[in-house]
Amino acid sequence: MSIFKLSKEAKEYWCAFWVKCLENLASVKVWFFILPFIVSTIIMSILVGYHLDFIKHALEAIVEKPDQLTPILKEMKTITDMFIAWCTFTVSLAGTVVVVREVFKVSKLKALNEEDKENTEEIKKMNV
């Protein structure tokens, strides 16, 4: 399906959708989530890669000495703990961003409500 074969309304919708996506990416609140998430994901992948490399070499050593399983289990426990900590960090970060977003939304709605009240009072004064 090509964008050029869409109806005018559909093209306008998709253009508005991409504009909204770009506006959201320009938001500081979004980058408060994206940057720590990207950095933590990169660090996590490097650390897990290091531990997986150790496990790979340890598994190769087990072929020669089958009693070497304990270090591998310790490394796998470390990887599990790191992954759980990363998941906790990511969920906490997302929750914080949602809370900040809602706080700003409430403040914005209060300001708009007060502005509407002021405009209504001015209109009433003009009509009298």
Q: What is the pLDDT of residues 18-66, one digit of tens each?
A: 888 888 777 777 777 788 888 888 988 888 888 888 778 777 777 777 7
CA gap 13, 19 in Å, rounded: 10
Q: What is the pLDDT of residue 4?
A: 64
pLDDT band for position 2 (cuts 50, 70, 90): low
Domain-wise residue ranges, the chain: 8-127
Q: Higher model confidence: residue 86 or residue 68?
A: 86
Can you tell me whether residue 2 is helix, strand or coil?
coil
Q: If you search the block for the tokens 């994901």, which residue do you land on?
A: 41
pTM value surpassing 0.85: no
Closest C-alpha among 121, 80, 76, 93 to residue 36 = 93
